[in-house]
Each structure stands twice: as C-alpha cells, then as structure tokens.
Amino acid sequence: MGIPSPAALGNADFAQKPVGSGPFMVQEWAAQDHLTLTRNPEYSWAPEFATHDGPALLDEVIFRFLPEPATRLAALETGEAQVIEDPPAQDASALIGSESYNVRTFSAPGMPAHLMINTQKSPTDDLRVRQAIIYAINQDQIVQLGFNGLSTAAHSVLSPTTPSYNEAAAELYEYDP
C-alpha cells in the first residue's frame, strides 16, 4: 500500500530494488535472509498525525526472514531481534503482562489470513456447498481456541483497517450452522 515512484515501476529490478516515497530506502535485499533499509535523508513530508517531521530517527532497520514462529520467538528472547511478528499464540499470551516484552495486536490492512477453496472439483464446484462451508465455520471460536484470542476473525476478503473496507460485506456469511 505504499506509493512507488512512477519512473521506477518500469525498472525490471523493481521487485527487488523498490523505490518509494517514505522515510526509508532499500539498501540491501538478500532473498530469504534479510532486508536492510536506511534512512532517507530527503524525507520531510510526514503525515499530520506523526509526532516527528523530517528524516527518520533510526539510521537503519533490518528485517530478518525467520519463517518458523518458534525461531522468531527465540530470536526475541535471546536479544537477536527487538521486534517479531506472529509468534506462536500460546507463547505470545504468556508474554502479556511481562515487564520485558510488549505484546501488541492489530488488524493489518489488506487481505487477512484465509483458506482457498478449489472451485474446479466436486463437491466445492457447487456454490451451495461453498456457502454451507462458510456458514458452518465459527471463525470467532477458531480465533479464541487457535490463536488465544490474539487475532481477529476474518469475516470479509479485506481487513477492517483496509481503506474502502465495506462493513456490509462482513455480514454476508455470518456463522449459522
């Protein structure tokens, strides 16, 4: 949901060397390993709600790609990482209230976690079967049991924090066995 440079979009390397308009610039992208961003010294157009205007206060930010949730949690606990995303839900719940950690939950903009249904094969090639599956899934209960209540049920193809989200769409298939 960033604003890319129109001139950079035509560049064949854009997927690995994106150019944007924000407070950081891509310094290095090592596939499957890390992404290093450095401060954009020219940045001076922070939104009105920001408490700081001008170049970022950090010199750089390094994102390490750690696909296993337990590995991410271990990196946090050993001090290798300062922030992690999506730790195992039970472990994250245990960290709530800790003086050493801050657990934050939020609904990210875009498409929430979802399962795809193959509409080319029977019986899910029938719309009524797909609708029955959706009605039969208690998403709120899955969030409580599977994610210790640390997530939000996805009742639409877009997260509620996505611009142009339509609340009426989230009410189309409410749990109804």
pTM over 0.95: no
Give the mean model confidence (pLDDT) for residues 116-125: 95
Q: pLDDT at position 118, please?
A: 95
Every domain of the chain and the residues it spans: 20-95, 109-177
Rg (CA), the chain: 20
Question: For the chain, how long is the longest CA-to-CA vector?
Answer: 57
Q: Which class for 165: exposed (0-12), middle (13-18), buried (19 or more C-beta within 10 A)?
A: middle
pLDDT tens-place string over residues 21-71: 789 998 999 989 999 999 999 999 888 888 998 999 999 999 999 999 999
Q: pLDDT at position 120, please?
A: 96
What are the phi and psi torsion angles at 139 (to 5°)? Answer: -60, -40
Q: pLDDT at position 112, please?
A: 86
One-letter amino acid of 174: E
Residue 40's SS3 state is coil
What percentage of residues in the chain have a pLDDT greater than 90?
A: 50
What are the phi and psi torsion angles at 29 (to 5°)? Answer: -130, 105
CATH number, domain 20-95, options 3.30.450.20, 3.30.70.360, 3.40.190.10, 1.10.10.10: 3.40.190.10
